[in-house]
Structure 1
Amino acid sequence: MAEVLFIVEVPTPYRNPVLDHLHVAGLDMHALYHRGDADRGWGAAVPAHPHEVVDGGTVSRCVALVRAALRPDLKVVCCFGYARLANVLAVLTARLRGAQVVLRSDSNWLDERRRPAVRRWGKRLLLRAILGRRARVWTVGAQNDRYWAEYGFGNRHLIPFGLPRPPVASPEQAAALRTRHALGDGLVILFVGRLAPAKGLDTLLSAFAAFADPAARLVIVGQGPQRSLVDRAAAADPRIRVLGALPQDELGPVFAAADLFVLPSRYEPWGLVVAEAQANGVRVAVSDAVGCHADRVTTDNGWVFPTDDADRLAEVFVEARDLSSLRRLRVPATPAFNAGPAMAAELVAMGARVTSRRARPVPEYENERC
């Protein structure tokens, strides 16, 4: 099949360009996806790298992944996530035949540290038994690195999560969206994500209700089980705009029109949507349960507030409004970042070959760094 096998849950707009880069760079790679659909509101996310979708139930997935791990030319198995039984069996099979195992996940220590010590002890033993001592872990940030360090994995290398193609828009597009949705000239607060209890929408709505500024607007983008909660809040407060779910390629003007992006999650392993906002120069306010807060949020570009603390979040809105009304200054936009080059260097060091017949210049955006 290939020298490098990637096992991935589903194609996404932020992961496809990374794996596309590896293929374009000439690595002999192949990706196996558990699902081929893009049912999270991203729109079309079709990979340009060699891939296939593993159809069927758990048994058929296990058989397909074990067969792929038994290929004689396989040198490296890169597993994005470890919870599925099929992934576990593929990793164990690869280890038995001497292939290198690489793991990448967004698990973080913020959530894990709250679990009982006996459970963490058992998980440590289980992870070491499955992955082995030689496993290479590509960590995504400080809390993810802490997670793997606490579980005894020393062979770690930081390759940050980033966006190869963030949804960005011009000031003219942002102004047009403000006009279309009657957002006015006051502070525009934005939430983008799944409308679910884990996202802390009740905290956001309570904080906004306490923010007594008639010129402010709260824009909510997304769909999910708490849509009725959001609709009721919008019916009671004319300052709230509910746009529903939008595909990835339509999010740029929404981000660019905002003055403050809020992610009040109770559980958020990483939070790529924060990088989407920052790519448009938007300040962010995130709860301290958001995995990326230690890596991406500073006093210069935003706020970190205690999880479930609506009073503190309402204070953040006042502080953001004062900044906005005084200067209307954007923070420096975070540039695009493609993790492909860093992954390619790692894979070559592990013995994967680069074939000149496919290699060609990498698109310019892939060489930008955050």
Structure 2
Amino acid sequence: MTKRLAIICTHPIQYYAPVFQLLANQVQLKVFYTSGEQSSYNYDKGFDRTIEWDLPLLNGYDHIFLKNNAKSPGTHHFTGIVNPDLIKQVSNFEPNGILIYGWAWRGHLEAMRFFKGKVPIYFRGDSTLLNEKGLIKTLLRKIFLKWVYKNVDTAFYVGTNNKAYYKAFGLVEEQLIFAPHAIDNCRFGADETEEARKIRTNLKVGENDIIILFAGKLVPVKNPFLLLEAFIELDLTNVHLLFVGNGELEESLKSRVQGLKNTQILRQAQDDNVKNSIHFMDFQNQTQMPAVYQACDLFCLPSQSETWGLSVNEAMACGKAILTSDKVGCSIDLVDHQNGFIFKSEDKEDLKQKIIALTLDKTKLKKMGENSLEKIKKWSFEVQSHIISQYVNR
């Protein structure tokens, strides 16, 4: 018999909605969005702008936007989501199971505690142990998180680092089910488009040149400055660096590039070469991003901390080689010497050496991209939704 599954999630997210659409064909599904009115999810703090995603995120599944009574609504703090009707609304749905995305909001944690022991509680998150710091703080956090996860019956973990996190806080092997973190592989994996060729043409990038791409929020935790400084120091011929996105570091990054001619470190010829090889594009919406990835040759995510890094999935689905820091959660699962390299976080010299190795031979770089494409096929929405629905309907 098909089971009834309630999903509790903050707001429509481009990486979750397609899974909900698939699940709706496999279980009786209803999604309870907790952050408030539908319009409240358009402002993105990291990009520092209002975003209207250009893909349908509400079609194909039953959903409701719940009232959020928080004094300061938002997903950036625990008391930013307070839902007086959440427990009643979910109870009225009479679910056979509840899948909760994230516990770090008052409304979500209250629901977890209320329904524990009444209905199976499934959990989805992508946290890791990659940035554990401070013995006392870590011990206190461990005590608290063990208490939180006592309210979870089963966690659908996204990858190796996420599984280790759950085990560290009390969940055992029998409670952990692998459901891979994923993006729309088919949409990103389409053949190179005319839009991608236009991007290279507009940037004055030659056919045999190499583009290194950083795509995401220009914020300190993503560490775009480390990549920029490594690129400037390398001064590679026929290699370009493209930043795509917006955020608090945007102006300082652009100022650094504009100021190259005023430095005494590099010769004038080097200044001109480096400056003309660094490019910026504003935030690109979901339908535009495949062309951006297709236009590049190597994708780099140099983050100081990244629980997963779905942009790596996207780049791999577009058949691109990958370079990440060892603080990117997906690296252990998705990146190896067949499709890229992992560098030590904050180590500019290691980053430079990896960039040199990856940009020596464009033919080899292309082969690495083909390996990425083959590897990412198993990390799909279809696989994720199938695993979840099979477990819920068992």
Question: Does TM-score exceed 0.5, indicating one fold?
Answer: yes
SS at match of 2:98: strand
CA distance in 1, matches of 2:140, 2:110: 19
Residue of 322, 337, 342 corresponding to 2:380: 337
Residue of 94, 102, 110 corresponding to 1:89: 110
Residue of 26, 48, 52 corresponding to 2:64: 52
1:66 Cα offset (Å)? 2.3
Contact 1:303–1:316, Cα closer than 8 Å, also in 2: yes
1:133 Cα offset (Å)? 6.4
CA distance in 2, matches of 1:79, 1:103: 5
1:28 Cα offset (Å)? 1.6
Correspondence 1:35-184 to 2 at 5 A: 35=35, 36=38, 37-40=41-44, 41=51, 42-48=53-59, 49-58=61-70, 61-71=82-92, 73-95=94-116, 98-111=118-131, 114-132=132-150, 135-154=153-172, 155-165=175-185, 166-173=187-194, 174-184=196-206
Q: 2:11 maps to which residue?
A: 10
Contact 2:214–2:299, Cα closer than 8 Å, also in 1: yes
Amino acid at match of 1:18: V
Q: 1:359 maps to which residue?
A: none
Worse overlay, 284-293 or 60-69: 60-69
Deviations 1:275-299 (A, max 9, x none): 1000011001000000000000000
Q: 1:270 maps to which residue?
A: 308
Contact 2:123–2:152, Cα closer than 8 Å, also in 1: no
Amino acid at match of 2:5: V
SS at match of 1:249: coil
Residue of 215, 219, 232 corresponding to 1:209: 232
SS at match of 2:116: helix
Q: 1:303 maps to which residue?
A: 341
Worse overlay, 254-263 or 318-327: 318-327
Worse overlay, 119-128 or 313-322: 119-128
Distance verdict in 2 for CA 1:158–1:202, change over 3 Å: same
CA distance in 1, matches of 2:64, 2:160: 33
SS at match of 1:110: coil
1:199 Cα offset (Å)? 0.4
1:159 Cα offset (Å)? 0.8
Q: 1:28 maps to which residue?
A: 28
Correspondence 1:151-300 to 2 at 5 A: 151-154=169-172, 155-165=175-185, 166-173=187-194, 174-184=196-206, 185-235=208-258, 236=260, 237-300=275-338
Amino acid at match of 1:32: F
Amino acid at match of 1:189: I
Identity %: 22
CA distance in 2, matches of 1:243, 1:134: 42
User: Is 2:393 the counterpart of 1:348?
Assistant: yes
Whose RCO is larger (CA < 8 A, sep 6+)? 1
CA distance in 2, matches of 1:263, 1:217: 16
Deviations 1:207-258 (A, max 9, x none): 1101212421111111111110222234241211101100011011111111
Distance verdict in 2 for CA 1:65–1:243, change over 3 Å: same
Gaps of 5+ in 2: 45-50, 72-80, 261-274
Amino acid at match of 2:7: F
Distance verdict in 2 for CA 1:30–1:215, change over 3 Å: same
CA distance in 1, matches of 2:237, 2:365: 20
1:144 Cα offset (Å)? 0.4
1:71 Cα offset (Å)? 3.2
Distance verdict in 2 for CA 1:304–1:318, change over 3 Å: same
How many residue pairs get matched?
344
1:170 Cα offset (Å)? 2.5
Distance verdict in 2 for CA 1:5–1:196, change over 3 Å: same
1:325 Cα offset (Å)? 5.8
CA distance in 1, matches of 2:168, 2:231: 38
Q: 1:358 maps to which residue?
A: none
1:61 Cα offset (Å)? 3.2
Amino acid at match of 2:128: N
SS at match of 2:166: helix
1:90 Cα offset (Å)? 0.6
SS at match of 1:58: coil
CA distance in 1, matches of 2:327, 2:204: 33
1:201 Cα offset (Å)? 1.0
Distance verdict in 2 for CA 1:175–1:134, change over 3 Å: closer
